[in-house]
C-alpha cells in the first residue's frame, strides 16, 4: 500500500494531540497514588478527628456520637492533668532538644576531622538511630531497673543516690528516664544533619583563615558557626515540633506515670484514646495541641523570613 502525503497529516496531528494530553496528564498520573493515599489515610481522618472534638465519641458506647458543642473544651479548661501534661511537654521537649543538639554538634565536629577508622566509628555512633524506638524505651527502662540494670548501682556508687533505686518510679526524677533514652536515640540525627552541613563548608576558607593567623576558636566562631546557622535553626525548630509529639518512649517506659509526672500532651491523647477509649475528649486535646503547634510553626516561618531578609 502507498500512503500519500496529505493522508498522513491528520494522523500525525491526532498523534500529537494524544501526545499533548498524555504529556499534560503525566505528572498527575505519577503523583495520583501518593496523593490519594495521603488524602484518604491522613487528611480524611484529620477532618474526622476535628469533628470528634465536638462530639461525644466513646468506642464501647454504641449510642455515643451526638454533638456536645464545646463540652470537651470546658472539661479541658478545668483539667489539671492537661496543664501538667503541657508543662511536662515543655520540659521534655526543651531538655531533649537541647541535649541532643549540643551532643550532636560536638559529635559532628569530631567526625568532620579525618582520622583512621572514621568510617567504622561513624557507623557505630550512628547505630542508636536504627534501634526501633520501642526497643530503645524498653532497653533504657531495663538499664534503669535496679534488678538487672547497672545504672542505679553506678549512681549509688558515685553518691548520687542513697540506695540503688529506679528513677522511673521516682516522681521527681522519672522524666529524666525518657529524656536520657531520647537523647541517646536522637544524637545521631543531629550529628548526621550537621555533619552534612559541615562538609559543605569550603575547606580553603579555613586555610585562608589559618594563614591570616586565626586560631581554632576564632575559625569556629567566624566560619563554622555562621555557615551552620541556617541548618541549626531549621533542624532545631523542626525537631522541636517532632519531639514534642514523640510519645513512644514515654508510653513504653512509664506510661505517663508515676503520678502523671511524665505525661506529655501527646501521650495524654494516646492514653485517652487507647485506655479510656474516649475518642471525643482525645480529639479535643489533639485540636488544642494542633493549634499550639500551628502557632509555633507560624513563629518559625516569621523567624525564617527575618533571617532570610538579613542574609
Within residues 292-311, the interface with other proteins by CB under 8 A covers 293, 297
Q: Are 286 and 51 in contact (CB under 8 A)?
A: no
61 binds other proteins (CB under 8 A): no
At closest approach, how far in Å is the CB of 139 from other proteins? 5
CB of 250 to other proteins, least distance (A): 11
Which residue among 45, 171, 202, 226 contacts other proteins (CB under 8 A)?
45
Helix, strand, or coil (residue 167): helix
- Name residues contacting other proteins, limited to 238-257 (CB under 8 A): 238, 241-242, 245, 247-248, 251-252
Q: Is 178 a binder of other proteins (CB under 8 A)?
A: no
Residue 273: C-alpha distances to residues 14, 257, 270, 305 (Å): 57, 17, 5, 38
CB 262 within 8 A of CB 171: no
| Closest of 196, 293, 178, 197 to residue 238, by C-alpha | 293
Distance, in Å, from the CA atom of 44 to the CA atom of 104, rounded to the nearest integer, reads 37
Binding letters toward other proteins, positions 190-229, x by CB under 8 A: --xx-xxx-x------------------------------
- Which of 44/70 has CB closer to other proteins? 44
- Tell which one of 150, 171, 202, 226 touches other proteins (CB under 8 A): 150
Distance CA 263, CA 260 (A): 5
| Closer by beta carbon to other proteins, 57 or else 95 | 57
Q: Can residue 288 be called a binding residue for other proteins (CB under 8 A)?
A: no
User: Counting contacts by CB under 8 A, is residue 291 touching other proteins?
Assistant: no
- Please list every residue from 98 through 137 that binds other proteins, using CB under 8 A: 106-107, 110-111, 113, 115, 119, 121-136
Phi, psi angle pair for 310, to nearest 5°: -70, -45
CB 266 within 8 Å of CB 245: yes
CB 56 within 8 A of CB 66: yes
Which listed residue (2, 6, 10, 27) binds other proteins by CB under 8 A?
A: 27
Backbone angles phi, psi at 58, to 5 degrees: -115, 130
The helices-and-strands tally (H runs, E runs) of the chain is 14, 0
CA distance 287 to 46: 10
Using the minimum distance from each CB to other proteins, give the nearer residue, 172 or 206: 206
> Stretches 10-18, 219-227, 278-286, 302-310: which one binds other proteins (CB under 8 A)?
278-286
The answer to whether residue 142 forms part of the interface with other proteins (CB under 8 A) is yes
Q: By CB under 8 A, is residue 63 in contact with other proteins?
A: no
Q: Which of 17, 41, 259, 307 binds other proteins (CB under 8 A)?
A: 41
Which residues, listed in sequence order, are joined to residue 278 by a DSSP beta bridge?
58
Amino acid at each position: 500500500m502507498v500512503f500519500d502525503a496529505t493522508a498522513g497529516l491528520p494522523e500525525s496531528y491526532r498523534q500529537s494531540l494524544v501526545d499533548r494530553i498524555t504529556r499534560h496528564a503525566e505528572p498527575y498520573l505519577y503523583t495520583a497514588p501518593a496523593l490519594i493515599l495521603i488524602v484518604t489515610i491522613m487528611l480524611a481522618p484529620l477532618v474526622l478527628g476535628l469533628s470528634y472534638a465536638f462530639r461525644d465519641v466513646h468506642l464501647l458506647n454504641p449510642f455515643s456520637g451526638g454533638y456536645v458543642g464545646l463540652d470537651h473544651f470546658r472539661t479541658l479548661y478545668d483539667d489539671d492533668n492537661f496543664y501538667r501534661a503541657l508543662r511536662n511537654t515543655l520540659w521534655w521537649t526543651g531538655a531533649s532538644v537541647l541535649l541532643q543538639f549540643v551532643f550532636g554538634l560536638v559529635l559532628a565536629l569530631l567526625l568532620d576531622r579525618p582520622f583512621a577508622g572514621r568510617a567504622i566509628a561513624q557507623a557505630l555512633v550512628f547505630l542508636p538511630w536504627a534501634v526501633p524506638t520501642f526497643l530503645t524505651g524498653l532497653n533504657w527502662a531495663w538499664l534503669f531497673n535496679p534488678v538487672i540494670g547497672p545504672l542505679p548501682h553506678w549512681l549509688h556508687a558515685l553518691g548520687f543516690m542513697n540506695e540503688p533505686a529506679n528513677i522511673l518510679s521516682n516522681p521527681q526524677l522519672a522524666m529524666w528516664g525518657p529524656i536520657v533514652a531520647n537523647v541517646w536515640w536522637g544524637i545521631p540525627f543531629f550529628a548526621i544533619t550537621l555533619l552534612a552541613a559541615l562538609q559543605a563548608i569550603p575547606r580553603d576558607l579555613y586555610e585562608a583563615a589559618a594563614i591570616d593567623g586565626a586560631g581554632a576558636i576564632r575559625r569556629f566562631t567566624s566560619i563554622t558557626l555562621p555557615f551552620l546557622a541556617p541548618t541549626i535553626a531549621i533542624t532545631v525548630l523542626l525537631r522541636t515540633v517532632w519531639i514534642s509529639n514523640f510519645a513512644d518512649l514515654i508510653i513504653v517506659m512509664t506510661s505517663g506515670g508515676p503520678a502523671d509526672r511524665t505525661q506529655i500532651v501527646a501521650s495524654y491523647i494516646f492514653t485517652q484514646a487507647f485506655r479510656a477509649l474516649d475518642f471525643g475528649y482525645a480529639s479535643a486535646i489533639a485540636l488544642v495541641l494542633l493549634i499550639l503547634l500551628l502557632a509555633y510553626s507560624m513563629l518559625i516561618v516569621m523567624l525564617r523570613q527575618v533571617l532570610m531578609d538579613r542574609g
